[in-house]
């Protein structure tokens, strides 16, 4: 079932924003632990709760966050900001989408990250600050 989910999502319609695809690994190439991990990862990027229990659809989702960052940074920052924001989304999303009993990045962490990004005067510095915090969480033991 997982192979079907990934094949359908990745080949028929990749849900990661198109301008991120040249800097992140395609969804079909990622290793998910189970079907729910893949579905929650899709939720992280799109806000789509299809086939998920206890899920709230919509924003925030990473595709929207990247758009807001790019508007805030303007055309001059886009070449540096876009790849960092996209890679950060994959880093955070893959961990946040895991089973709640073992993931090291929680929904509460996502809220903190969002606040950092919103409060940063410079979106590139905000992305870099969130990356430092996310990597620190990922360095902790699982569970």
Query: pLDDT by residue (tens digit) across 84-121?
Result: 999 999 999 999 999 999 999 999 999 999 999 999 99
Using CA atoms, how far residue 20 sits from 33, 34, 45, 62, in Å, is 23, 24, 11, 11
pLDDT of 143: 63
pLDDT of 39: 96
pLDDT of 13: 62
Q: Where are the domains of the chain?
A: 21-139
For residues 138 and 94, is the Cβ–Cβ distance under 8 A? no
pTM: 0.89
For residues 55 and 43, is the Cβ–Cβ distance under 8 A? yes
Tell me how crowded residue 35 is: count the other CB atoms within 10 A of its CB. Answer: 15
Alpha carbons within 13 angstroms on the beta-carbon side of residue 41 total 29
SS3 string of the chain?
CHHHHHHHHHHHCCCCCHHHCCCCCCHHHCCCCCHHHHHHHHHHHHCCCCCCCCCCCCCCCHHHHHHHHHHHHHHHHHHHHHHHHHHHHHHHHHHHCCCCCCCCCCHHHHHHHHHHHHHCCCHHHHHHHHHHHHHHHHCCCCC
pLDDT of 10: 37
pLDDT of 142: 75
Taking 50 as the pLDDT cut, the residues of the chain under it are: 1-12
pLDDT of 59: 87
């Amino acid at each position: 079932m997982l192979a079907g989910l990934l094949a359908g999502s990745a080949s028929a319609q990749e849900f990661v924003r198109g301008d991120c695809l040249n800097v992140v690994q395609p969804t079909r190439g990622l290793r998910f632990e189970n079907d729910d991990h893949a579905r929650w990862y899709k939720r992280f990027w799109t806000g789509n709760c299809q086939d998920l229990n206890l899920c709230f659809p919509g924003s925030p989702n990473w595709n929207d966050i990247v758009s807001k960052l790019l508007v805030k940074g303007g055309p001059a920052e886009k070449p540096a900001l876009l790849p960092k924001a996209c890679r950060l989304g994959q880093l955070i999303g893959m961990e946040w989408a895991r089973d709640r009993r073992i993931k090291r990045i929680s929904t509460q962490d996502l809220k903190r990250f969002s606040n950092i990004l919103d409060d940063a005067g410079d979106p590139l510095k905000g992305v870099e600050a969130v990356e430092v915090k996310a990597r620190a969480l990922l360095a902790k033991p699982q569970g």
